[in-house]
Amino acid sequence: MVKSAFSILAVGAVAGIALAPVAASAATTQPAALAYSSTPGGGDPDTSVTFTVTVGALTMTAPATADLGSGAPGTTITGAVGSTSVTDDRALLGATWTATASATDWTTGAGTAAETVPATDVTYTPGTITTTPVAGLATGHTITLAGTPQTTVTLATNGDNTATWDPALAVAVPTSATGGVYSSTLTQSVS
């Protein structure tokens, strides 16, 4: 009996020796299995990164009313309209826009010939134009007003931009004009 217990113990010892190298071998290969690369064949992984530049509209603002002052028949009445601004948020490559102005005839009373100053007797001068991001991008054009739009300011650049000016109107009052408050509609637009 002692002999068979010894035999079982010897067989277990031999099996343990045979298993030990396999366990040791598995332990040495484990760290290599933990190494990971997202790029085939190793190396540094690349990440594609994006963002979006948003775009907006082309808009213009101008005063709702303006008073040019007063003067006698045969004189020139000159006054400022007030701040006119164009905001271009279209974020375009090669952004261009053109501002225009037109006007109805100035009238008072019943609008008879003696109570009318034709739009063509009035000039529009943009004056100094302030632009961003860079000064001097815009070009101003002095025009004689009419019922059809005439170019007043142009601009060409890249990306978003703004331009602001304070146009002056000069009214050549006819010598035959009668007294009264004359009114007209000045229409400015941008495209």
Residue 109 sits in a domain of what CATH number? 2.60.40
Band (pLDDT 50/70/90 cuts) for residue 132 is very high
Question: How many structural domains is the chain composed of?
Answer: 1
In a domain, 33, yes or no: no
In a domain, 16, yes or no: no
In a domain, 100, yes or no: yes
CA distance 159 to 96: 10
In a domain, 7, yes or no: no
Residue 8: the pLDDT is 42
Does residue 116 register a pLDDT over 50? yes
In a domain, 45, yes or no: no
Q: Which residue has the higher pLDDT, 41 or 65?
A: 65
Among left, alpha and beta (phi > 0; psi -120 to 50; other), residue 23 is: alpha
Over residues 15-29, mean pLDDT:
48
List of residues 6+ apart from 88 with CB closer than 8 A: 58, 95, 97, 155, 160, 161, 162
Band (pLDDT 50/70/90 cuts) for residue 1 is very low
Full domain range(s) for residue 155:
58-190
In a domain, 3, yes or no: no
Residue 30: the pLDDT is 53
What are the pLDDT digits (tens) for 146-165? 999 999 999 999 999 999 99
In a domain, 109, yes or no: yes
Does residue 15 register a pLDDT over 90? no
- The single residue listed with the structure tokens 């009238």 is 107
Residue 137: the pLDDT is 87
In a domain, 21, yes or no: no
Residue 117: the pLDDT is 98
